């Protein structure tokens, strides 16, 4: 896997060591990141991902020494060092070197990694209900894309895979559907698209917002609201959105098999049309 990492004004090949045992980010998780994609010669919504990593940094008490535009320019510089048709993951990060329990914002450093990461094929995956829940906004920094939130997603995904499923539906603290362990979720019932409302318990993704707008512009009714797991079980279609795989079908809920449906197919088609537009 080819990888490039930018730190302190220089691009390095591979995975340079940038954290030490005394770095605040190492032992107290004062670090945020974002993920964007380059594929088929395009970088959809790269600007919005660059804006979000700055917002995440502020939420975690870090300082951004770059503007979103400067981060985007660095990302494009990194992407340009790969073949035009490469499938890449673009990961800007801010992290703190020092602090006490909370980070010293003046110690914030910036790094961006660009590396080969094949796009998942839209073959579909199955989901089950996770026994683990997403924390509320007063329990964790849920408004940031922060690595400290991901161990919870990791155990939800690990539990689902042990039970033979590809992903897990994670509920919020009130018992409503929040998201998948690794992506946002949509369901379709009687031609209407439904997705959990952004209630502060999960990161309402850049790709999620894009899919909602594309579907609405195409004439679909998209409702953001509280959703129960029973509604996921009874849906006509279920699909996911997320930066890593963009728009993917969910082909099984518990023991029920589903086929990729027409609304999912149109959502993926619309996203690819937007990407190339």
The pLDDT tens digits for 229-275 are 999 999 999 999 999 999 999 999 999 999 999 999 999 999 999 99
| pLDDT tier for residue 1 given thresholds of 50, 70 and 90 | confident
> Environment class of residue 259 by beta-carbon count within 10 Å: exposed (0-12), middle (13-18) or buried (19+)?
exposed
Handedness of CA 233, 234, 237, 239 (dihedral sign): negative
Q: Are residues 106 and 165 in the same domain?
A: no
Q: Are residues 266 and 141 in the same domain?
A: yes
Look up residue 12 and give its DSSP letter.
Answer: E
pLDDT tens digits, one per residue of 187-208: 999 999 999 999 999 999 999 9
Determine the Cα–Cα distance for residues 38 and 202; give it in Å rounded to an integer: 24
Check: CB of residue 33 under 8 Å from CB of residue 87: no
Q: Are residues 146 and 271 in the same domain?
A: yes
Determine the Cα–Cα distance for residues 240 and 61; give it in Å rounded to an integer: 31
Q: What is the CATH number of the domain that holds 18?
A: 3.30.470.10
Q: Are residues 137 and 250 in the same domain?
A: yes
Cut 0.85: pTM above it: yes
Q: Are residues 159 and 25 in the same domain?
A: no
Q: Are residues 178 and 155 in the same domain?
A: yes
Q: Are residues 174 and 37 in the same domain?
A: no
Strand partners, 234: none
Q: Phi-psi region for residue 9, left (φ > 0), alpha (ψ -120 to 50) or beta? A: left
Determine the Cα–Cα distance for residues 67 and 131; give it in Å rounded to an integer: 40
pLDDT tens digits, one per residue of 107-155: 999 999 999 999 999 999 999 999 999 999 999 999 999 999 999 999 9
Q: Which residues contact 29 (CB under 8 A, 6 or more apart)?
A: 146, 147, 148
| Domain end marker among 94, 116, 138 | 116
Interior/surface letters 184-222, b for 16+ CB within 10 angstroms, e for the rest: bbbbbeeeebbbbeebbbbbbbbbbebbbebbeeeebeb
| Domain end marker among 116, 148, 168 | 116
Domain assignment of residue 147, given as a range? 125-276
**Would you call 104 helix, strand, or coil by DSSP?**
coil
Separation in Å, CA 40 to CA 100, 124, 248, 249, 273:
44, 21, 17, 20, 12
Q: Are residues 90 and 142 in the same domain?
A: no
Determine the Cα–Cα distance for residues 216 and 223; give it in Å rounded to an integer: 10
What total number of domains does the chain contain? 2
Section 45-69 average pLDDT: 98
């Amino acid at each position: 896997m080819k990888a490039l990492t930018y730190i302190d004004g220089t691009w390095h090949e591979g995975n340079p060591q940038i954290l030490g045992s005394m770095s605040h980010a190492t032992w107290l998780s004062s670090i945020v990141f974002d993920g964007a994609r380059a594929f088929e010669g395009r970088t959809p919504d790269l600007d919005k991902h660059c804006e979000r990593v700055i917002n995440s940094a502020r939420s975690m008490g870090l300082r951004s020494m770059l503007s979103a535009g400067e981060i985007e320019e660095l990302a494009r510089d990194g992407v340009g060092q790969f073949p035009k048709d490469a499938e890449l993951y673009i990961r800007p990060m801010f992290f703190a070197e020092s602090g006490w329990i909370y980070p010293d914002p003046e110690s914030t450093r910036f790094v961006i990694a660009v590396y080969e990461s094949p796009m998942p094929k839209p073959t579909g995956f199955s989901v089950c209900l996770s026994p683990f829940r997403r924390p509320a906004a007063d329990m964790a920094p849920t408004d940031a894309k922060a690595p400290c939130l991901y161990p919870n997603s990791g155990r939800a995904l690990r539990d689902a895979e042990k039970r033979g499923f590809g992903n897990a539906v994670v509920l919020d603290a009130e018992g409503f559907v929040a998201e998948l362990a690794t992506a946002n979720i949509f369901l379709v019932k009687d031609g209407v698209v439904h997705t959990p409302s952004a209630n502060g318990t999960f990161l309402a993704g850049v790709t999620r917002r894009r899919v909602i707008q594309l579907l609405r512009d195409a004439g679909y009714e998209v409702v953001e609201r509280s959703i129960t797991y029973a509604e996921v079980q009874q849906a006509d279609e279920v699909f996911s959105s997320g930066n890593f795989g963009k728009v993917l079908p969910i082909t099984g809920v518990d023991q029920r098999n589903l086929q990729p449906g027409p609304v999912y197919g149109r959502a993926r088609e619309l996203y690819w049309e937007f990407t190339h537009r």
